Structure 1
Amino acid sequence: MTYYADLTPYTYDSDNWDPGAPGPRRGVAVLNAGWLDRGRSYPQGSPPPGLVETLKRMTRTHRAQQTRGFHLCPWCASRRSSRRPGRPEGSAEIRVIGRGVAYAAPELIAHYVEAHDYLPPAEFMEAVLSSEVAA
């Protein structure tokens, strides 16, 4: 997976969403969140209550940009050499609507928060927790 700094403009793939799917509309900026890489530091901390659970739900309700391949968690993958059931992997993105912007995050973002203490930007967490899927 490619690394992108948090809150930078999304440039990974063209935006070809189904207009009925959750996601940004024309003219809304799309920003990156959670595009981590093993060789780069990232903000760490305790997530607010409900963040991990909501991100996990969003991997079912807010999916976008499905790819044919898959990406393994760079930290867990370094400890194991092959693809196995139960190993964290992703093949899509999630999109979250915020205040005047949308965020694009890899499907593995919930795993990064839960297992590797990644603390996403406050604006992204606010958008996730104020979404219709938040508990």
Structure 2
Amino acid sequence: MYYADMSEYRLQLTSDDEGLSFLAIGWLDEAYPFTTGPTPVEFQERLLEHCIRGVHEPTLGFHTCQFCEPQGFTSDGRSIITKTWVHYKGKRFFIDNGEIWIPDGNITYSAPVMIYHYVTVHHYRPPEVFINAVLRCPLPYEEEYLAFVRSLKEPFNTDLFDFYRDSETHNYSELY
């Protein structure tokens, strides 16, 4: 799903609730060009922490990268797409499902978990304000970030989905 960087992104669980309003970052699509360039290593490291340890709104499906080449084709000509994964603390995790929320003052940015892949593999360079927000943002397991999550209205103030923690008991990293 494409959203232009810095455009309004509204998350609504039902048509009756007013939802939460964010600024979209990294909701890329092959039909739209995106800015490329280097990003600071510290930004990439903190972004990975959010993409593994602070996932919001995971769904039952998954997203494949439109920018990666297919890994082959089936006998009837369909593309074989591999899932997007990373290594983190000695484990392999898929990062193709859910989004991260980066609070920065009175603004909250929403990015797909795939943003880490886009940054490190396809050299996507998010807007500077987002890079700086990630560098300032507490990590998702720190109390300041958890307080941000608790401050959200129902039902958005639920526990974070932590692939690293949850894989120990539920093996979410090997679902696919």
Provide the TM-score with structure 1 as the length reference: 0.78
Partner letter of residue 118 of structure 2? Y
Q: What is the CA–CA distance in structure 1 between the aligned matches of 2:66 and 2:27, rounded to whole Å?
A: 11
Gaps spanning 5+ residues in structure 1: where?
17-25
| Residue in structure 1 matched with residue 147 of structure 2 by the alignment | none
More helix by share: 2
SS in 2 for 1:72: coil
Residues 39 and 91 of structure 1: is their aligned pair in 2 closer, same or farther, counting only changes over 3 Å? same
- The CA deviation at 1:28 is 7.5
Greater length-normalized contact order (CA 8 Å, ≥ 6 residues apart) = 1
Gaps spanning 5+ residues in structure 2: where?
72-78, 86-93, 141-176
- The CA deviation at 1:83 is 4.6
CA contact (8 A) 2:26 2:126 kept: yes
Matched, 1:82 2:80: yes
SS in 1 for 2:130: helix
Q: Over alpha carbons, which structure has the higher Rg? A: 2
- Identity across aligned pairs (percent)? 32
Residues 85 and 37 of structure 1: is their aligned pair in 2 closer, same or farther, counting only changes over 3 Å? closer
Q: How does 1:20-31 map to 2 (within 5 A)?
A: 29-31=21-23
| Residue in structure 2 matched with residue 36 of structure 1 by the alignment | 28
Runs of 4+ in 1 over 2 A off after TM superposition: 26-29, 78-89
The number of residue pairs the alignment matches comes to: 122
- The CA deviation at 1:118 is 0.3
SS in 2 for 1:90: coil
Q: What is the CA–CA distance in structure 2 between the aligned matches of 1:85 and 1:103, rounded to whole Å?
A: 25
Which digits, 9 at most, give the CA deviation of each residue in 1:79-99, with x for residues without a partner? 323254665651100110013
- RMSD across aligned positions (CA): 2.5
